[in-house]
Structure 1
């Protein structure tokens, strides 16, 4: 059995592009949740800094995560973010305790 992949992504985009990015992130989340390997895909908007979002993801396997990265919906989101000056920080996490 392969180990689940835990990802935390922080996306920061100029304020003028935040509303459009939010729509794209929501669309990506809706499609991602339908992927077989997706166990969690939760997006949040920063309550204090406009233009900053977090995405918390859990993938059943490395192969499932790589399939996600190649999906049309993810590629569309990543392309939009890059074209509009977003800064992306991706953290691959290792949980210290089991999920509750």
Structure 2
């Protein structure tokens, strides 16, 4: 069995588009949480920067994460981000505590 994949994604967009991005991210989260390989998919809005969001994800395997990237709901999010000039950073993390 593959090792779990831990992701932290940061998305920053113009404040005028923040509410729209929030809706798209929430819709993606709703569907992502239904994916078999999804162990966690939490979104948050930055309390001090209206246009910045974080997504903390855990996927059961690399294969599960790659399958997520090929889904329609992720494609909608990626297309919205690209169309509206959102800056995206995806960080693959290695947990340093035993509870991970």
What is the deviation of 1:97? Answer: 1.1
| RMSD over equivalenced CA pairs, Å | 0.8
Aligned to 1:15: 15
The 1-side partners of 2:10 and 2:59 are apart by 17
The 2-side partners of 1:98 and 1:13 are apart by 35
Secondary structure, counterpart of 1:29 in structure 2: helix
User: Number of aligned pairs?
Assistant: 100
Summarize deviations over 1:40-87 as a string: whole Å, max 9, x none.
Answer: 000000000011000000000000000000000000001000100100
TM-score by structure 2 length?
Answer: 0.98
Aligned to 2:60: 60
The answer to whether structure 1 residue 46 and structure 2 residue 50 are counterparts is no
Aligned to 1:89: 89
What is the deviation of 1:98? Answer: 2.1
The 2-side partners of 1:67 and 1:8 are apart by 17
Runs of 4 or more above 2 Å deviation: none
